[in-house]
Structure 1
Amino acid sequence: MLRPAEGGAVEGPGSFDELLGLVRAGEVAVLTGAGLSTESGIPDYRGPDGTRRVMPMQYDEFSGSSAARQRYWARSFIGWQRFTRAHPNAGHRAVTALQRSGRLTGIVTQNVDGLHQEAGAHDVLELHGTLDRVVCLTCGDRSSRVALHERMALANPGFADRVLAVAGDASRVTSQIRPDGDIVLDDDLVTTFHLQACLVCGRDTLKPDVVFFGESVPKETVAHAFDTVDRARGLLVLGSSLAVMSGYRFVRRAHRDGKPVAIVTAGPSRGDGEATIRLHGPLGETLTRLAAAVA
């Protein structure tokens, strides 16, 4: 049975004091998900009850169709401008404080927003890549997302203004930003957007350097993440529903090895059955309290 906890959290198995004891002892691996960035204005894919709000574009759809890539980049062109205005919140800063205290073996994030690094964290393993880079699916060249955005802006003058004119209210556009910077746009607008080709091979197969749904995380990245968990005494999961195996496998690994698993997130989690400590509540408030108590 869930019960209220201090600091706005709700406790399942375990308690805040047990979480504090786990982190104070040190050698904790941290795994973060989209829920950590919601307080920065970036919504996650799922609602508080775990139901998926939106269906992101699948890798096969993106890679197999120029029209799909046009749709993605038109929407992302708008979403990116607002996505980049997001800044770290109290939860990100608290994770950085825990890292600086020497209690963590590492930070593994499912997020692609770079907010951990902006908050001052170092050696963050980005499990699903980063939106800061672009990769060409044809030749493999990697380049700057900022540079691509500038090229898109030059090739699509007035596009953002047309989007706002159709939306009628900038807040209607902003409210639909997704964790990958994508956004919902009308098809009539999408078809007017001019794709930009790779500057190396000339193909229109540029993709954000992130792992799409239906795409596999690189093996070396997975191995690095497993090493982070294997070196730890326990695993702390923050803001992730663990709905996809790319994150859930680390909970299974820690549980298999008899290590404590603490999960702090607002909604249900696939790892709840493996959790030895389970807190439901606002991450910024809970983690700020945790970092202050550890210091």
Structure 2
Amino acid sequence: MGELTIPDRVDGSNRAGVGWAVDRLVEFLQGQRAVVLTGAGCSTESGIPDYRGAGRARRPGTPMLFQEFMGEPQARARYWSRSAVGWPRFSRAGPNAAHHALARMEEAGAIRGVITQNVDGLHQAAGSRRVLDLHGSLARVRCMGCGSTEARNAVQERLRSLNPDLGSLESEARSAPDGDAQLPAGAWEAFRVPSCRRCHGVLKPDVVFFGENVPRDRLQRAWALYEEGDRLLVVGSSLAVFSGRRFVMRATREGIPVAILNLGPTRGDEWADLKVEGRVGEVLPRVAHRLGAL
């Protein structure tokens, strides 16, 4: 492809600009070996809220910190009460047009694979095969004592059994990011939390909490996938957390072209060779079609 002005910004958030945005992304991807990094903005069109969102500077609630979760039984009760209420809706979410477009692009050889910061499993549900879940999966729960895992659906049954009044909380809740829910203050005070069936240790969703590091072996696998590409496409991520932003920073150091498709500013805009403002579910299917993947 020809040289891009650095950074080249394209507004595809309105109908007039979508065609131009698609043209530039096709130019960026055509005949290349791109690796894709996705964030929460890839799943908002599936009904899963994100922490920031377009034009939103503050998070809608404070995410649970790893140290808080591990150190305070009351914090775990607060987390699991909100998760128990939020999980049914989260688990019913299905892949949207962006997920399907990326799956077809992988199938057609237009991209090498996906490194995702999301924990919803929607890339796999859409048919993507080469997916690295950087932050883990909410579908699993891990014992922090013995390391055994349990399906989140099974834990949900135990949560319901231990807390028969859970239904009354569901009627008062509002959806929040990552399968969470916003509950009235103090709603979790009498909430009972299950422990590991094997060792009675602390159960934690098998995801990376704020304040927790990505496991070393998983990060190594993410870097291995990154190294297969000759350019990086960021989709639906504000790049606010370092675990995702580091891929853009390394690409910049190595002279690897970076394109960002997101609705709203990101912390990687200054490094992007191409920045496209647009809805991922509207832009990506058109890109996939132009690349012969749809």
Task: Give the alignment's TM-score, normalised by structure 1.
Answer: 0.91
Aligned identity (percent) is: 46
Q: CA RMSD in A?
A: 1.9
1:16 aligned onto 2:22: yes
Aligned-partner residue type, residue 30 of structure 1: V
**Which of residues 237, 247, 252 in structure 1 aligns to 2:249?**
252
Q: 1:6-37 CA distances to partner (integer Å, 9 max, x unpaired)?
A: 974859xx953232022221310000000000
Q: Could you tell me whether the CA contact under 8 Å between 2:13 and 2:278 is conserved in 1?
A: no
Which residue of the partner structure matches residue 267 of structure 1?
264
Note the C-alpha offset of 1:133: 0.4
1:149 aligned onto 2:156: yes
What is the distance in 1 between the residues matched to 2:153 and 2:288? 34
Q: Secondary structure at the match of 2:199?
A: coil
Q: Secondary structure at the match of 2:150?
A: strand
**Which of residues 118, 121, 132 in structure 1 aligns to 2:128?**
121
Aligned-partner residue type, residue 192 of structure 2: H
Q: Secondary structure at the match of 2:156?
A: helix
What is the distance in 1 between the residues matched to 2:184 and 2:11? 44
Task: Give the alignment's TM-score, normalised by structure 2.
Answer: 0.91
Q: Could you tell me whether the CA contact under 8 Å between 1:8 and 1:286 is conserved in 2?
A: no
What is the distance in 1 between the residues matched to 2:10 and 2:28? 20
Alignment of 1:276-295 (within 5 A): 276-295=273-292
Q: Secondary structure at the match of 1:284?
A: helix
**Which of residues 159, 179, 188 in structure 1 aligns to 2:166?**
159
**Which of residues 46, 55, 58 in structure 2 aligns to 1:52?**
58
Note the C-alpha offset of 1:177: 2.2
Which residue of the partner structure matches residue 190 of structure 1?
188
Where in structure 1 do 4 or more consecutive aligned residues deviate above 3 Å?
Answer: 1-11
Alpha carbons of 1:122 and 1:90: their partners in 2 closer, same or farther (altered >3 Å)? same
Note the C-alpha offset of 1:39: 0.3
What is the distance in 2 between the residues matched to 1:130 and 1:294? 30
What is the distance in 2 between the residues matched to 1:9 and 1:37? 24
Aligned-partner residue type, residue 176 of structure 2: I
Structure 1, 47-56 or 97-106: larger mean CA deviation: 47-56
Note the C-alpha offset of 1:182: 1.2
Note the C-alpha offset of 1:161: 2.7
Aligned-partner residue type, residue 261 of structure 1: V
Q: Secondary structure at the match of 1:188?
A: coil
What is the distance in 1 between the residues matched to 2:131 and 2:94? 17
What is the distance in 2 between the residues matched to 1:271 and 1:6? 19
Q: Could you tell me whether the CA contact under 8 Å between 1:40 and 1:86 is conserved in 2?
A: yes
Aligned-partner residue type, residue 274 of structure 1: W
Aligned-partner residue type, residue 216 of structure 1: N
Aligned-partner residue type, residue 200 of structure 1: R
Q: Could you tell me whether the CA contact under 8 Å between 1:236 and 1:262 is conserved in 2?
A: yes
Alignment of 1:217-256 (within 5 A): 217-256=214-253
What is the distance in 1 between the residues matched to 2:162 and 2:78? 15
What is the distance in 2 between the residues matched to 1:188 and 1:57? 16
Q: Secondary structure at the match of 2:181?
A: coil
What is the distance in 1 between the residues matched to 2:196 and 2:107? 40
Q: Secondary structure at the match of 1:187?
A: coil
Alpha carbons of 1:88 and 1:38: their partners in 2 closer, same or farther (altered >3 Å)? same
